[in-house]
Chains A and B, each alone.
Chain A
């Protein structure tokens, strides 16, 4: 009968792999966060705000 082998996450470097995956995901998110202007400050929103205030 087969027995279960519990994997020690420290010995298998599992934590390191998890951290690396977290890094890659967060890195993409960080770049997206830095590249995209703040929603309420974007030019489109500002323009629409101006149009709402001063409709022609």
Chain B
């Protein structure tokens, strides 16, 4: 379809009908319906939707273990705080390709941006589930109560603006799918601006999420609380993002192998080693930041109890170990070791964010928070729903398969 034809008066009706038919055709499911992933994910999504209906009708207390003492649980700790860190790959890769001009990473730009966009839409969107009065989410945007002094004001605006920036970055793919050549050209001219805007926003809100916990000094265990949480969140999001790209890339390469240009199969390994190198360096920096803060705060005595052991497991087992593994794998060209290191890194980031927001939060309190089974189902629902949308987009739009305008990319 051509957008110019769509606007030419006489053919408008016919074009609109054609466009409607095209959309209906694209909405139809493709491929096998009965697959192990579908069989597992579909019931969880249906159950999650049912639980969410109960949550919105009867309130948070009906499905969660949250209370006045523990107002933030799994939905904030995993979906929002962890999910956004794991989506950090989009700003890292766009920076590498569009600003540093490392063209060899261009083949994974689109899929990384799509992952980032969906992660923000689903994980940041999950914030609505956790608000006692979800309709007030619009307040920081419309000015009903801006709350300039709150870190959440920054986070709310940044999430909104970053989602728009990522959509602009991804929009040329949508225009190409719809066959809108002129619109695509216009959108492509906006990409670089959107990328720079998006990177600026990311550096601020990745650290802003950490800044949310600055006011909880009395509640967070001293091994995890530091005034440098924002910096730690930002640096660790780089390693988390790169590791997620490695994991997602590995899975996508197997699941969507028919969509990938066979000539690119060989270069994928090179890309993975490049990403692993970046992850090793960022984990190295992150580890030394952690060590510097530990020494600065003189926390030696805190290592003696179970909390200390738990802290060491996180820092040594899931920061230092993957850092060493990444370096070893890059040097010795071991793809399998890269994947193990990426998995360890992602686990470590999940652990770190959960430690700060849930496990080591209210550590002295007698009432401990454990997520209810319904909170876990809704969290799984969010993850599976994102994968379903990702699969739908990748099967229809030129995300992994080469663009018809590949030569024009700048």
Chain A residues within CB distance 8 Å of chain B: 10, 13, 15-16, 19-20, 23, 26-27, 30-31, 33-34, 37-38, 41
CB-defined A-B contacts under 8 Å, sample of 21 = A16-B292, A16-B295, A19-B295, A20-B292, A23-B288, A23-B292, A26-B284, A27-B285, A30-B280, A30-B281, A30-B284, A30-B327, A33-B327, A34-B277, A34-B280, A34-B327, A34-B330, A37-B331, A38-B331, A41-B332, A41-B333
Contacts of B281 in A (CB 8 A): 30-31, 34
Contacts of A38 in B (CB 8 A): 331-333
By the criterion CB–CB under 8 Å, are B292 and A33 in contact? no
Q: Residue B296 at the A interface, CB < 8 A? A: yes
Contacts of B332 in A (CB 8 A): 38, 41
Interface of B is mostly: helix
The minimal Cβ–Cβ distance linking A11 to chain B, given in whole angstroms, is 10
Q: Residue B291 at the A interface, CB < 8 A? A: yes
Chain B residues within CB distance 8 Å of chain A: 277, 280-281, 284-285, 288, 291-292, 295-296, 298, 327, 330-333
**A26, B202: Cα distance in complex, Å:** 29
Contacts of B327 in A (CB 8 A): 30, 33-34
By the criterion CB–CB under 8 Å, are B331 and A34 in contact? yes
**A15, B281: Cα distance in complex, Å:** 23
The listed residue (A15, A19, A27) touching B284 by CB distance below 8 A is A27
The minimal Cβ–Cβ distance linking A18 to chain B, given in whole angstroms, is 9
When A and B form their complex, which 5 residue pairs have the shortest distance between CB atoms, in order from nearest? A23-B288, A15-B295, A34-B277, A34-B330, A38-B331
Contacts of A41 in B (CB 8 A): 332-333
Given contacts A19-B288, A23-B288, contact A33 B331 (CB under 8 A): yes
By the criterion CB–CB under 8 Å, are A19 and B277 in contact? no
The minimal Cβ–Cβ distance linking B13 to chain A, given in whole angstroms, is 61
Contacts of A26 in B (CB 8 A): 284
Contacts of A30 in B (CB 8 A): 280-281, 284, 327
**A2, B330: Cα distance in complex, Å:** 56
Given contacts A30-B284, A34-B277, A34-B281, contact A19 B331 (CB under 8 A): no
By the criterion CB–CB under 8 Å, are A19 and B292 in contact? yes
By the criterion CB–CB under 8 Å, are A16 and B277 in contact? no
The minimal Cβ–Cβ distance linking A36 to chain B, given in whole angstroms, is 8
Contacts of B296 in A (CB 8 A): 13, 16
By the criterion CB–CB under 8 Å, are A10 and B292 in contact? no
**A10, B295: Cα distance in complex, Å:** 9
Contacts of A19 in B (CB 8 A): 288, 291-292, 295
The minimal Cβ–Cβ distance linking B351 to chain A, given in whole angstroms, is 23
Contacts of B292 in A (CB 8 A): 16, 19-20, 23
The minimal Cβ–Cβ distance linking A32 to chain B, given in whole angstroms, is 11
The minimal Cβ–Cβ distance linking A45 to chain B, given in whole angstroms, is 14
**A23, B330: Cα distance in complex, Å:** 20
**A33, B331: Cα distance in complex, Å:** 7
The minimal Cβ–Cβ distance linking B285 to chain A, given in whole angstroms, is 8
**A36, B231: Cα distance in complex, Å:** 30
The minimal Cβ–Cβ distance linking A53 to chain B, given in whole angstroms, is 22
The minimal Cβ–Cβ distance linking B11 to chain A, given in whole angstroms, is 58
**A53, B110: Cα distance in complex, Å:** 46
**A24, B62: Cα distance in complex, Å:** 53
Q: Which residue of A lies closest to B276 (CB)?
A: A34
**A55, B295: Cα distance in complex, Å:** 59
**A15, B296: Cα distance in complex, Å:** 8
Q: Which residue of A lies closest to B277 (CB)?
A: A34
Using A16-B296, A33-B327, A33-B331 as known contacts, list a sample of 15 further A-B pairs with CB atoms less than 8 Å apart, ordered by residue number in A.
Answer: A10-B298, A13-B296, A16-B292, A19-B288, A19-B291, A20-B292, A26-B284, A27-B284, A27-B285, A30-B327, A34-B277, A34-B331, A37-B331, A41-B332, A41-B333
